[in-house]
Amino acid sequence: MGMTAAADDLGAYELGADDLVEVARELEADGQLQDAATYWGRAAAARPGDDAILRALTGVLVRLARAGEAVEACRRAVAGGSVSTYPWRERAVISYVYLNDPAGAAESLREALASHPHDAQAHLLMATLAYQTQDFDLAREHGQRALETADDDVALQVRQRILGDFEGAVSVGRRLLLQRPTDVDVLVLCGLSLHLMGRLDEAVGFYYRAAEHAPYRGDVIFPLADALILLGDHRAGWRRFGAVGDEAMLRTNLPAATPYLDRFWRGEPLAGKRIFILPYVGLGDSLMYARYARDLKAAGAHVTWCCRPELQRLFADLGGSDVVTSDGQLEALGDYDHWCLDLLLPGRFGAGEGRIPTWPEGYLKVPAETGAISLPDRGNGRLQVGLCWKTSPSHYLRNARSLSPEDLRPLARIADVDWHVLQKWPVEPDFAARSGLAIRDTSHEWADFHDSAVFAGGLDLTISICSAPVHLAGALGLPAWAMIADPPEWRWGRQGDRAPWYPQARVFRQTARGDWLSVTEAVARAFETERGALEAQRTRL
Amino acid identity of 281? Answer: V
Tell me the mean pLDDT in the region 96-110: 96
Give the chain's radius of gyration (CA, Å).
26
Nearest to 417 by CA among 446, 468, 365, 381: 381
Residue 6 scores a pLDDT above 50: no
pLDDT tens, position by position, 475-496: 999 999 999 999 999 999 999 9
Measured distance CA(12)–CA(31) in Å, rounded: 19
What average pLDDT is seen over the chain? 93
| Ordered strands of the 274-278 beta sheet | 323-325, 302-306, 274-278, 338-341
Q: How confident is residue 81, by pLDDT bands cut at 50, 70 and 90?
A: confident
Measured distance CA(40)–CA(29) in Å, rounded: 13
Residue 391 scores a pLDDT above 90: no
Measured distance CA(455)–CA(287) in Å, rounded: 16
Measured distance CA(319)–CA(364) in Å, rounded: 7
Question: 88, exposed or middle or buried, with CB in 10 Å at 0-12, 13-18, 19+?
Answer: buried
Residue-level pLDDT at 537:
80
Residue 272 scores a pLDDT above 60: yes
pLDDT tens, position by position, 154-189: 999 999 999 999 999 999 999 999 999 999 999 999
Chain mean position to CA 509: 22
CATH of domain 1-117: 1.25.40.10
Measured distance CA(138)–CA(158) in Å, rounded: 13
Residue 385 scores a pLDDT above 60: yes
Chain mean position to CA 199: 23
Residue 536 scores a pLDDT above 70: yes
In the chain, where are the structural domains located? Answer: 1-117, 164-253, 270-353, 383-540
Percent of the chain with pLDDT over 90: 84
Q: How confident is residue 12, by pLDDT bands cut at 50, 70 and 90?
A: very low
Pick the CATH number of 383-540 from 3.40.50.2000, 3.40.50.300, 1.20.120.420, 3.30.1360.170: 3.40.50.2000
Q: What is the dihedral of CA 396, 397, 401, 403, to 10 degrees?
A: 100
Residue-level pLDDT at 489:
94
Amino acid identity of 513? Answer: R
Pick the CATH number of 270-353 from 3.30.1370, 3.40.50, 3.30.2420, 3.90.1010: 3.40.50
Distances (CA, A) of 374 to 387, 439, 473: 16, 14, 18
Spatial neighbors of 50 by CB under 8 A, at least 6 apart, are: 17, 43, 44
Q: Which residue has the higher pLDDT, 394 or 67?
A: 67
Residue 101 scores a pLDDT above 50: yes
Residue-level pLDDT at 369:
83
Measured distance CA(340)–CA(537) in Å, rounded: 39
Nearest to 373 by CA among 440, 442, 315: 442
Same CATH fold, 164-253 and 1-117? yes
Which backbone phi and psi does 489 adopt, to 5 degrees? -75, 160
Residue-level pLDDT at 396:
66
Q: How confident is residue 270, by pLDDT bands cut at 50, 70 and 90?
A: very high
Pick the CATH number of 164-253 from 3.30.1300.10, 3.40.50.360, 1.25.40.10, 3.40.190.10: 1.25.40.10
pLDDT tens, position by position, 85-98: 999 999 999 999 99
pLDDT tens, position by position, 220-252: 999 999 999 999 999 999 999 999 999 999 998
